[in-house]
Structure 1
């Protein structure tokens, strides 16, 4: 398998375990380890794992001390479901999760991610939606379906 493709779910689970174990992570070391760009690792930490209390000090990223050791296999399963990658694996049972987090076994898997829209500029809106949902507000969404205009073909 080509190592050029992003193994998103395995990378995120591995980073999650490292953070949970109290490791302080460097962007450049992670980028080198997973053979991705530093920008990809930044996106992993700020967006994909952004729900966690990740702190940054002197170029190192780590979990808030009060949060250490609180992530379980169940948390990893829930994260996989929330991130939409659970269906990429046959079963998310404990033994399988432990095996794919092993660096030797993880090389057997390749997950090709879909192209996602960058919604980082909408963080404030997502926070407002989260607060509204937590407070059990009724929400209504109005949207338009985007239909591109057909190209104009000149008549000659």
Structure 2
């Protein structure tokens, strides 16, 4: 079972392939806040809802200095299909080896339909401009999570 991150921890750097096979690293985003979210699988209902919610709010988040990176165990080819099918604008990266997920505490034992299984723990880690963990949220819900995140961060849309 991987250790969960806590506020103040240094966020583990990673370099993972995106939907186009290009390498995306956390360190390349230094100077901006980054929302790194972990989800079990592209093209499943909950993960699609979450990715669409992040895409729908990307402009608001970017306007407040946040970049968004979605991490799943999927290969770049599947991520590309997912992005095209759902018209996603968020950066999606694949971690088939699950090393980054383990480093972030987003892979391990979880409850699924009352059974204990090993898999991806739906999680969101907010990393500050210096690469430190600002918030680490585990076992988040796919539906409504982005709206709650925006409220919790005080990022209400202008004119709201």
TM range (shorter): under 0.3
Structure showing the higher helix proportion among its residues: 1
Q: Which has the higher strand share?
A: 2
Greater Rg by CA: 1
Name which structure has the greater RCO, CA cutoff 8 Å, separation 6+. 2
